[in-house]
Amino acid sequence: MADEAVNSVVGKVLDLLFGVAKREIGYIWNSRENVEKFKNEVEKLKVLRGRVQQLIDVAEHNGDTLSYGLQDWMDKVDDEILKAENFLDQEANAKKTCINWSTLYHYGKMATHKVPSFVEHIEGGKSFESCVSVPTSKPGFLEFYERKDFRGINTQKSTLNSIIEAFKDENMQIIGIYGAGGVGKTTLAHEAAATVKNLFDDMVYIVVSENVDVENIKDMVNVAAKRVQEKDKILIILDDVRKEVNLSALGIPCGAEHMNCKILLTSRSKNVCEAMNTHSNICVKSLPEEEAWILFKRVVGEKVDASEKLKQIAIEAVDGCGGLPLIIQVVGNVLKKQRINLWEVTLAQLNNNVPSIVPLEMRGSFTHLKLSYDLLDSEEAKLCFLLCSMFPEREFIPLERLAHYCVGLGKLNRLRSMEDARKRVGIAVDNLKSFSLFLNGKDKFTTKMHDVVREVAHIIASEGKNIFLVEAGTGLSEWIPRKNDPNDYTGISLMQNNLCKLPDYVLHFPLLEILLIQENCKLSNITDEFIEAIKEVKVLDMEHNNLSSLPKSVKQLIKLRMLNLGGNSSLQEISILGELGELEILILNDTNIHEIPREIGKLDNLRTLEVKRCTSLSHIAPGVISNLRWLEELCIGYYQVQKENYNSLSELCNLSKLINLNLFVTDYDLIPQGVQFGKLEEFVIKIGNNDENIVFPWELKSKHLLILAKFSLNITFLPHIEALIKVSDCILMHSVSNLNDILPSVYYEASHELKTIALLECCSDSYLVDTKYWDELFGTGKIQERFFSRLEHLKLSSLKLISALWKCPDAYISLSKLVTLDIGDCPKLVRLFSVSVAQGLVNLKNLSISKCHCLEEVIWTGDADTGSGEIDIAIPDADIVFPRLTHITFSDLSKLKRFYSGYSSIKYTSLVEVSIVHCPIMEIWGYGVHDTPKLKFLGNVPLDGTLAINDAVIALSKVETL
């Protein structure tokens, strides 16, 4: 019995030993197979990593937030791939030098053991491949909204509070606010949204108006609707709803299962709100006399109390405003600009007869708005006012387009240049805003009209010399004017409709000067009969239609001065345009033209020629550019050019009037030699694979700009455009390889003049500036002026190797003019500023740092080698003051411990908002005293009063928001 037990044990031991031996010997015999299997897994992981990186690029381009854990996976994968490649290199070299049993055993065993780890990484990556990001809202509609002062305006304050309470009520989903045009519905909607923005993960604002564009609205709410499904809290504002609309048909989630989606409607009609099943209807009432007077005095100022008689006149004027804030502000701004002794005369004009075509409910608004228009002391302002009424309701109107139309109409007397036109249009728009006739746009380059003001503008136009037909954005599918209809229009606007064709019968518009038919994407041809009807036209905008050719009859438009054919992607042949000798502005962007033919050289009156993103353009006929002797602005993308062919861009040297050049070329050798770029008032040069619409990190005030986009460069690059670098204020480099080879010369030659530097996805060395070899490159003692001394904006994104901003004595660095610092996805960056450099950040306003997973602190004491992390609080460091810093944003900084590691008094005299997201080990802001007298928001949490941060008062407790 004992023998059997022993034999059994011995048998098992022998089996185990033989199994082990077999496995160990297998590492030798199957070494090549094992290594090959491992190599295949490495390739699979590299391919997967590449696919995920493509998805990340798209997500980051859309501004989305990457999924939690994705960056860790990418970092681990990069590390594993690097180790694997080193292992495979060693294995290959070992086979070349010495093959023995020991070598085969070692690499066969190692390869076998590594495979499961790579399989695990592949499985983990597959989950990210299906979901790399969480949609993040873009800069919202509140970005340019200015908060309103409701002190003393209790009617609106009460209404605002009702809206806010409705937002907070979990049982209310659809909320309606209604009231007369100009009573302040949109303002209250914005104000309420701004007040409760911390309650929602995203907000969407949509103007609906008369013509409901279902597809456009569905596009606008698409991302938000997905976030509703993911249980995020979303607010959707539908402004100016004129008739009942089906929310589900618009793609807006509603109903009991989607109570996390709040919907706010504004309408002039309570019936519309009720028809859309609102849970609460809030009436926005006109202001009573006392509150109307408070608002009026707030606009006009104390001079209204100069005399009792004057005050009485003003009170009567305010009474005539019907309690509408829009009209009160218009009248107030009118009188504010008038001398007091003229008030009585000015207000007497309000009693003028109102045209019979003005609807009864609009008569009060009309008289006051018409008065504002009549008192405009600039004909250019009046022209811009009427031109803007030709755009669709609530449209953001580009000032650039207004300038083009004004130049084309020839209404800017003694015009010196296109830049002069822009300045004069800008002044006119500011004037109109000061009268409350125009509203702020989405940025300083756009404006818009209140719908009530737009309606009045149409009436004003109809009774004057400018008679307009405006059917912009009304969903018009056909336009069939009768021969006997009035033909005295000076302007016709049919833009943003669904027109398929234009009239093909005899018509006559003898006074027509401006025709706007852009954005009718189905409109594919223009008939000869229609050209005959509009042959007096001066401005013709046909952008983003579907034209593939131009009729020969186009040459009859001999008075045409502004022509926009951009966005007609099938249009190729443009020779006929050479007959339009009066043209001053010609826009051909995004067309399919292959060449700029010699006939275009006959347009010797051209001021502006735009030929951007025409990807088939490969030839400019010799002599064309030289003949455009009055050309001030040239915007052109030069594609598919054979280097050995004649480069027509060299003719730019002959254009004495050229002041603005926007040039894209595929190779730096195509940049014309001999052009005096420094004498241009503005230039944008793009070199690279494609002419992308690069979103600049900041609004650039500089006149000179150099962009190197998606291009591989080497050291031979510099001699070709060294002169260009020296006259540039801004350098943006995107996906540039071996950046470390060119930065020394760039910084040495031009850094003292640079105002903006942006480095995006560049394969860089470890530092922006490393002076280690500068003495041998440029000579001992050549570094005289401190680096970055004029730099205002710095953006660093996806610089995988950068470990510090510079490697040189701090005495060489000056950031005294830096306004904006934006750093993202620099995984090896450990810290930013020493105390001495931080003390010089006197103009810094915005600091944003994200996805820097090794960053431990922002400001450090200057001793990088101690590594202890201990703070000696007995010896305070020098005081630091940030006089202009207003916003700080930290996100996805997994190793950030604190803002400052030292012990000092830091004053943030202008700091308004601090946001800290996904900084899990940050427990304190810093030691010492951190004084923030104006801080209003920590994360999205509003604060009351001031806050002083002493030692560790701000304890984060590892939460995601401060």
Lowest model confidence (mean pLDDT) among 87-96, 670-679, 926-935 = 87-96
Residue 447 sits at φ, ψ, to 5 deg, of -145, 175
Q: Kindly state the percentage of the chain with pLDDT values over 70.
A: 78
Angle at CA of residue 115, ends 114 and 120, nearest 5°: 105
Q: What is the mean pLDDT of residues 925-938?
A: 80
With b for 16 or more beta-carbon neighbours within 10 A and e for fewer, the 475-488 pattern comes to ebeebebeeeeeee
More confident residue, 298 or 401: 401
Q: Do 254 and 313 fall within a single domain?
A: no
How many domains would you assign to the chain?
A: 5
Confidence band of 584 (pLDDT split at 50, 70, 90) = very high
Spatial distance between the Cα atoms of 667 and 650, rounded to a whole number of angstroms: 15
**What is the reported pLDDT for 878?**
60
How does the average pLDDT of the chain come out, rounded? Answer: 80
Task: Answer for the pair 706, 671: CB distance below 8 angstroms, yes or no.
Answer: no
Closest CA to 563 of 580, 545, 546: 580
Sign of the torsion formed by the C-alpha atoms of 295, 298, 303 and 306: positive
More confident residue, 97 or 86: 86
Confidence band of 942 (pLDDT split at 50, 70, 90) = very low
Cβ contacts of 669-672, under 8 Å, gap ≥ 24 = 669/643, 669/720, 670/638, 670/641, 670/643, 671/720, 671/721, 671/724, 672/647
Lowest model confidence (mean pLDDT) among 154-168, 175-189, 649-663, 799-813 = 799-813
For residue 635, give Cα distances in angstroms to 607, 670, 788: 11, 15, 30
Q: What is the mean pLDDT of residues 880-901?
A: 90
Number of helices (H), then strands (E), belonging to the chain: the values are 23, 40
Residue 339: CATH number of its domain? 1.10.8
Show which of 76, 101, 134 is a domain's final residue. Answer: 134
Show which of 421, 443, 465 is a domain's final residue. Answer: 465
CB-side exposure of 321: number of CA atoms within 13 Å? 31
Q: What is the mean pLDDT of residues 571-582?
A: 96
**Highest mean pLDDT range out of 27-41, 136-150, 428-442?**
428-442
Spatial distance between the Cα atoms of 746 and 722, rounded to a whole number of angstroms: 8
**What is the reported pLDDT for 874?**
38
Confidence band of 225 (pLDDT split at 50, 70, 90) = confident
Spatial distance between the Cα atoms of 143 and 860, rounded to a whole number of angstroms: 33
Please check the confidence at residue 146 and state whether its pLDDT lies above 50: yes
* Helix or strand (DSSP H, E) at 128: helix 101-130
Q: What is the mean pLDDT of residues 654-668?
A: 89
Confidence band of 16 (pLDDT split at 50, 70, 90) = very low
Task: Answer for the pair 514, 490: CB distance below 8 angstroms, yes or no.
Answer: yes
Q: For residue 81, what are its two tokens?
A: 């791939």
**What is the reported pLDDT for 55?**
76
**Looking at this protein, which amino acid is placed at residue 595?**
E
Neighbours of 686 (CB within 10 A): 24
Asked whether residue 227 is domain-assigned, the answer is yes
Q: What is the mean pLDDT of residues 287-312?
A: 82
Lowest model confidence (mean pLDDT) among 230-234, 250-254, 833-837, 870-874 = 870-874
Spatial distance between the Cα atoms of 519 and 521, rounded to a whole number of angstroms: 5
Q: Do 810 and 883 fall within a single domain?
A: yes
Boundaries of domain holding 446: 376-465
Lowest model confidence (mean pLDDT) among 348-352, 553-557, 862-866 = 862-866
Asked whether residue 578 is domain-assigned, the answer is no
**What is the reported pLDDT for 562?**
98
Asked whether residue 242 is domain-assigned, the answer is yes
DSSP secondary structure string for all residues of 342-405:
GHHHHHHGGGSPPPTTS-GGGHHHHHHHHHHHHT---HHHHHHHHHHTTSPTTPPEEHHHHHHH
**What is the reported pLDDT for 765?**
60
Asked whether residue 176 is domain-assigned, the answer is yes
Q: What is the dihedral of CA 76, 78, 83, 84, to 10 degrees?
A: 110
Asked whether residue 432 is domain-assigned, the answer is yes
Confidence band of 570 (pLDDT split at 50, 70, 90) = very high
Q: For residue 292, what are its two tokens?
A: 């109307």
Q: Kindly state the percentage of the chain with pLDDT values over 90.
A: 30
Give the sheet arrangement for strand 202-209, strand by strand: 202-209, 234-241, 261-267, 174-178, 280-283
More confident residue, 559 or 313: 559
Which residue matches tokens 């829009």? 326
Q: Do 451 and 404 fall within a single domain?
A: yes
Asked whether residue 28 is domain-assigned, the answer is yes
Q: Do 118 and 192 fall within a single domain?
A: no
Spatial distance between the Cα atoms of 421 and 402, rounded to a whole number of angstroms: 9
**Highest mean pLDDT range out of 20-29, 285-294, 338-347, 583-592?**
583-592
**What is the reported pLDDT for 716?**
53
**Highest mean pLDDT range out of 43-57, 482-496, 670-684?**
482-496
Confidence band of 635 (pLDDT split at 50, 70, 90) = very high
Asked whether residue 271 is domain-assigned, the answer is yes
**Highest mean pLDDT range out of 345-359, 503-517, 705-719, 746-760?**
503-517
Q: Do 22 and 124 fall within a single domain?
A: yes
Q: What is the mean pLDDT of residues 471-496?
A: 89
Q: Do 853 and 946 fall within a single domain?
A: yes
Q: Do 22 and 117 fall within a single domain?
A: yes
Q: What is the pLDDT of residues 747-789, one digit of tens each?
A: 555 455 678 888 887 766 667 777 765 655 555 555 556 778 8
Q: What is the pLDDT of residues 209-221, one digit of tens each?
A: 777 788 888 888 8
Please check the confidence at residue 531 and state whether its pLDDT lies above 60: yes
Task: Answer for the pair 503, 526: CB distance below 8 angstroms, yes or no.
Answer: no
Q: What is the mean pLDDT of residues 66-80?
A: 75
The model's pTM is 0.73
DSSP secondary structure string for all residues of 448-489:
E--HHHHHHHHHHHHTSS--EEE-TTS--------TTS----
**What is the reported pLDDT for 769?**
75
Q: Do 827 and 941 fall within a single domain?
A: yes
Task: Answer for the pair 819, 793: CB distance below 8 angstroms, yes or no.
Answer: yes
Please check the confidence at residue 908 and state whether its pLDDT lies above 70: yes
Q: Do 44 and 72 fall within a single domain?
A: yes
Q: Do 17 and 111 fall within a single domain?
A: yes
Q: Do 396 and 265 fall within a single domain?
A: no
Confidence band of 820 (pLDDT split at 50, 70, 90) = very high
Asked whether residue 149 is domain-assigned, the answer is no
Spatial distance between the Cα atoms of 791 and 698, rounded to a whole number of angstroms: 13
Please check the confidence at residue 678 and state whether its pLDDT lies above 90: no
Lowest model confidence (mean pLDDT) among 150-154, 205-209, 699-703, 905-909 = 699-703
Q: Do 275 and 297 fall within a single domain?
A: no
Confidence band of 28 (pLDDT split at 50, 70, 90) = low
**What is the reported pLDDT for 783?**
56
**What is the reported pLDDT for 701?**
52
Please check the confidence at residue 580 and state whether its pLDDT lies above 90: yes
Q: What is the pLDDT of residues 370-427, one digit of tens each?
A: 878 888 888 999 999 999 999 998 889 999 999 999 999 999 999 999 999 999 999 9
Task: Answer for the pair 531, 551: CB distance below 8 angstroms, yes or no.
Answer: yes
Q: What is the pLDDT of residues 100-121, one digit of tens each?
A: 556 666 666 777 777 777 777 7
Q: What is the mean pLDDT of residues 920-945?
A: 70
Sign of the torsion formed by the C-alpha atoms of 243, 244, 248 and 252: positive
Please check the confidence at residue 253 and state whether its pLDDT lies above 70: yes
**What is the reported pLDDT for 655?**
92
Residue 168: CATH number of its domain? 3.40.50.300
**What is the reported pLDDT for 378?**
87
**What is the reported pLDDT for 559?**
96
More confident residue, 131 or 373: 373
**What is the reported pLDDT for 546?**
94
Residue 384: CATH number of its domain? 1.10.10.2260
Q: What is the mean pLDDT of residues 3-12?
A: 46
More confident residue, 348 or 83: 83
Show which of 260, 283, 306 is a domain's final residue. Answer: 283
Lowest model confidence (mean pLDDT) among 204-208, 544-548, 599-603 = 204-208
